[in-house]
């Protein structure tokens, strides 16, 4: 009989084998089903490592020998379809037997200096590719439609392609070859064959990398009437000699020549003339610089130029720029610029320094009243800029000739900053500041360092400025401004310390405070106060102040604080002054004051008087000075005036008064019915109606006497206090 136990064990072994086999089959099936996703993730990672961080790849058909799908590289870049061919063993090791890419789209321009191309281990066929080819010298780029075959080669790969440069409606047929070795391009060539009805662009060129890392090759390309804003051109290079002509008709032209000189070396001469600055900037894809007119001419020249590409040793290059008839924005085209210098290659960067054999430059902007002579630039010739600017003679409106030292940093298309320091020729005034420009607008800061002005200094340091010629004292200022495409505004602060002003008929002294403008457009001032030691419009008032404010309506509000005169508080009613008016009217209100005190304030120190005076003095201030109008002081009733007998009074004008001896006798004991004092530009006038009882029997002797102007004595005191002193201290403490 069969062994029942052995049969049962055999059945169980078969069941285990079937179970293990089933599990293995299920595992293999699961792995097979997951393999497309794993490969897609791996290949996506490889695309991202090539410099496409937004790359995504999907496999829609997967087999033992090939996979198909599509990939995106971000934005509009990617491929409509790819076919990757491999062997099962190659798939496991990540090696293809071939790769076909259909409808490749790359917006990043292709250049000969690209170093991020991958190593290849299988042939690649590219069809219906839509690429972009970078043009030299920043002239832009052109679309390139092409098919290409790329084959592995020892240490790299070899590519051949043919297609069409998309210029105009038909384009230009092109054949391109390239060899890649190690970490970069080792050789390349192209041939352009213009179609009969297409753009007139034709020629050929080739380059080859030398063992020392340089390049050699030849070039012969001509073009005429190209579309898309591209220039007419003639480009030739052979055996170390070259010629370049680029012309944008009516806009700009570049001529460059590299040929042997009389010593057997190579010399470079290049000239770029720009007749339409905005048009040229647009052709190069740069922002509108805001300049019109021209021409602008840039010239470069050098000797002992190396024919290595690129040169291992760069010679010094003489650089000059001439610009005439330039307009800024929509302004007149009367601006000019002249600059020269030497460009030198240092540690891989170009640096500019003044040219020893060329005259210094100049700049003229008549609309701004700006001119600079002896203009020198030093610094790096690269974006962003970092240049030092100096001018031996800078002329600006309302400023004496000055020297300029400035630093220019940044990119005009993005953020540009100019920091400057100006000092007048005699060192009397120092101005510093900065201007920052960006794509949305800009801001500016300007500061005038504290300067002590003596008699005549204001006219010398600030010629033509709307300042009184007799401005004295210490002044300083700070101005800020900011602007964008929609508006512009700013602030200003002006420090006055023991300042003084003289105009015909007007003398102010001991002015202290900070004039604050919280807006410049429209001009406005918050409520503020100045202290004034002396206000003398023909009557010397002391120890007062002036509150003022300027809302945006252009009307200045004046709130004078009381002054002192003849021992009394003299008040001035609040008033207004509209900016642009040619005069300001004020009124001095003088309270009841003893006649003796009034006479003493007018310099009549030896008189005894009885009586009281009161009145008002209207004052008009205009560009010609201060003028007292009809009005003055009148005695409130009869009184007595007594001047000691003796020498003629010194307070009487001996030229404009008659019969001074008789006047002196009459004033020894004069009983007046009325007494008045008026103020005029030539001095105060004393009007009397009365008699001396002991002279001519008390016969009436009315008199109209012209007094000598009283001596000018400046007040002495502790200077400003309270809020005014705090404002001045805060201004001086600012560090920005």
Query: Sign of torsion, CA 192 194 198 200?
Result: positive
In this predicted model, which residue has the larger pLDDT, 631 or 425?
Answer: 631
pLDDT, position 22: 47
End-to-end Cα separation, the chain, in angstroms: 114
How far is residue 352's CA from residue 263's CA, in Å, rounded to a whole number? Answer: 26
Burial class (CB in 10 A: 0-12, 13-18, 19+), 641: buried
Count CB neighbours of 15 within 10 A: 10
- pLDDT value for 17: 53
pLDDT, mean of residues 31-56:
80
Domain ranges of the chain: 217-381, 582-711
Confidence tier at 340 by pLDDT (50, 70, 90) = very high
CB 203 within 8 A of CB 193: no
Query: Residues 181-209: pLDDT tens digits?
Result: 876 778 888 898 887 777 788 889 888 88
CA 676 to chain centre: 62
Query: CA 479 to CA 555: how far, in whole Å?
Result: 22
Query: Which of 40-44, 117-121, 288-292, 681-685 is least confident?
Result: 117-121
Q: What is the pLDDT of residue 30?
A: 46
* pLDDT band per the 50, 70, 90 thresholds, residue 310: low
Q: Which two tokens stand for residue 684?
A: 């105060």
Q: What is the DSSP letter of 264?
A: S
Give the pLDDT score at 655: 87
Taking residues 13-20, report their average pLDDT: 56
Reduced to 3 states (helix: H, G, I; strand: E, B; else coil), residue 505 is coil
Task: Average the pLDDT over each of 282-291, 366-375, 598-607 and give the range with the smallest value.
Answer: 282-291
**How distant is the alpha carbon of residue 675 from its chain centre?**
66
pLDDT value at position 23?
A: 47
Residue 300 has pLDDT above 60, yes or no: yes
Q: Which of 33-47, 302-316, 567-581 has the highest mean pLDDT?
A: 567-581
Mean pLDDT over each residue of the chain, to the nearest integer: 85
State phi, psi for 461 to the nearest 5 degrees: -85, -30
Q: Determine the pLDDT at residue 132.
A: 81
pLDDT tens digits along 471-489: 899 999 999 888 776 777 8
Q: Residue 718: what pLDDT?
A: 57
- Condensed to tens digits (0 to 9), the pLDDT of residues 131-156 reads 887 766 556 677 889 899 989 888 78
Contact 667, 640 (CB under 8 A): no
pLDDT digit string (tens) for 155-168? Answer: 788 999 998 888 76
Kindly report the length of the chain: 736
Q: What is the predicted pLDDT for the residue at 31?
A: 44
Report helix, strand or coil for 37: helix
Mean pLDDT for 280-292 is 80
pLDDT tens string 217-275: 898 899 888 877 788 889 898 877 889 999 999 999 999 998 887 777 788 899 999 99
Give pLDDT, residue 447: 92
- pLDDT higher than threshold 50 for residue 304: yes
Which residue pairs, CB below 8 angstroms and at least 24 apart, start in 480-485? 480/443, 480/444, 480/445, 481/443, 481/444, 481/445, 481/520, 482/441, 482/442, 482/443, 482/444, 483/441, 483/442, 483/443, 484/440, 484/441, 485/440, 485/441
pLDDT of 247: 92
- What phi-psi label fits residue 372: left (phi over 0), alpha (psi between -120 and 50 degrees) or beta? beta
Q: Which pTM does this prediction carry?
A: 0.67
Q: What is the pLDDT of residue 25?
A: 47
| Segment among 492-506, 552-566, 646-660 with least mean pLDDT | 646-660
Report the pLDDT value the prediction gives residue 32, as an integer from 0 to 100: 52
């Amino acid at each position: 009989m069969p062994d029942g136990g052995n049969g049962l064990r055999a059945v169980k072994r078969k069941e285990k084998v079937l179970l293990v086999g089933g599990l293995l089959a299920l595992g293999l099936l699961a792995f097979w089903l997951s393999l497309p996703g794993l490969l897609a993730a791996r290949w996506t990672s490889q695309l991202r490592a090539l410099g496409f961080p937004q790359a995504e790849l999907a496999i829609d058909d997967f087999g033992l020998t090939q996979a198909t799908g599509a990939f995106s590289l971000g934005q509009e870049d990617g491929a409509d379809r790819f076919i990757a061919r491999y062997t099962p063993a190659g798939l496991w090791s990540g090696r293809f037997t071939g790769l076909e890419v259909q409808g490749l789209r790359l917006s990043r321009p292709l250049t000969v200096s690209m170093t991020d191309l991958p190593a290849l281990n299988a042939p690649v066929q590219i069809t219906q590719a839509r690429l972009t080819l970078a043009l030299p010298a920043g002239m832009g780029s052109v679309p390139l439609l092409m098919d290409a075959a790329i084959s592995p080669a020892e240490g790299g790969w070899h590519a051949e392609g043919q297609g069409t440069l998309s210029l105009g409606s038909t384009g230009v047929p092109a054949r391109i070859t390239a060899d890649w070795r190690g970490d970069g391009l080792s050789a390349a060539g192209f041939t352009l064959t213009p179609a009969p009805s297409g753009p007139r662009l034709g020629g050929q060129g080739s380059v080859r990398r030398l063992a020392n890392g340089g390049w050699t090759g030849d070039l012969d390309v001509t073009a005429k009437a190209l579309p898309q804003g591209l220039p007419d051109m003639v480009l030739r290079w052979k055996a170390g000699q070259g010629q370049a002509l680029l012309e944008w008709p009516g806009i700009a032209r570049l001529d460059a020549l590299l040929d042997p000189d009389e010593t057997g070396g190579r010399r470079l001469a290049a000239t770029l003339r720009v007749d339409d600055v905005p048009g040229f900037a647009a052709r190069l894809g740069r922002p509108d610089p805001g300049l019109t007119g021209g021409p602008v001419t840039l010239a470069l020249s050098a000797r002992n130029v190396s024919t290595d590409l690129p040169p291992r040793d760069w010679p010094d290059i003489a650089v000059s720029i001439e610009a005439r008839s330039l307009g800024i924005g929509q302004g007149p085209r009367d601006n000019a610029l002249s600059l020269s210098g030497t460009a030198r290659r240092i540690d891989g960067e170009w640096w500019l320094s003044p040219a020893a054999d060329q005259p210094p430059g100049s700049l003229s902007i008549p609309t701004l009243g700006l001119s600079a002579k002896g203009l020198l630039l030093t610094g790096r010739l690269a974006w962003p800029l970092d240049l030092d600017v100096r001018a031996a003679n800078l002329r600006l409106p309302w400023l004496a000739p000055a020297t300029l030292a400035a630093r220019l940093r940044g990119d005009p298309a993005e953020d540009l900053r100019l920091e400057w320091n100006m000092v007048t020729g005699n060192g009397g005034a120092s101005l510093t500041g900065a201007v920052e420009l960006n794509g949305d607008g800009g801001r500016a800061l300007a500061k005038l360092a504290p300067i002590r002005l003596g008699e005549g200094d204001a006219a010398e340091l600030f010629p033509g400025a709307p300042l009184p010629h007799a401005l004295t004292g210490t002044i300083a200022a700070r101005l800020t401004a900011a602007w964008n495409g929609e508006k512009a505004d700013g602030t200003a602060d002006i420090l006055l310390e023991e300042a003084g002003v003289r105009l015909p008929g007007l003398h102010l002294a001991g002015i202290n405070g900070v004039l604050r403008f919280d807006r410049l457009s429209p001009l406005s001032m918050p409520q503020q106060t100045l202290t004034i030691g002396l206000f003398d419009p023909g009557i010397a008032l002391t120890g007062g102040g002036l509150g003022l404010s300027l809302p945006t309506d252009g009307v200045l509000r004046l709130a004078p604080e009381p002054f002192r005169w003849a021992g009394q508080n003299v008040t001035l009613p609040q008033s207004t002054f509209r900016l642009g008016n040619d005069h300001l009217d004020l009124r001095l209100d003088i309270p009841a004051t003893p006649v003796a005190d009034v006479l003493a304030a007018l310099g009549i120190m030896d008189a005894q008087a009885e009586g009281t005076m009161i009145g008002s003095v209207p004052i008009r201030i205009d560009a010609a000075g201060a003028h007292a109008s009809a009005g003055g002081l009148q005695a409130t009733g009869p009184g007595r005036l007594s001047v000691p007998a003796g020498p003629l009074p010194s307070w009487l004008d001996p030229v404009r008064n008659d019969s001074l001896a008789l006047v002196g006798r009459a004033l020894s004991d004069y009983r007046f019915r009325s007494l008045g004092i008026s103020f005029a530009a030539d001095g105060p006038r004393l009007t009397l109606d009365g008699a001396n009882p002991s002279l001519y029997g008390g016969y009436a002797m009315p008199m109209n006497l012209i007094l000598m102007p009283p001596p000018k004595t400046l007040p002495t005191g502790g200077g400003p206090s309270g809020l005014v002193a705090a404002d001045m201290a805060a201004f001086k403490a600012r560090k920005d």
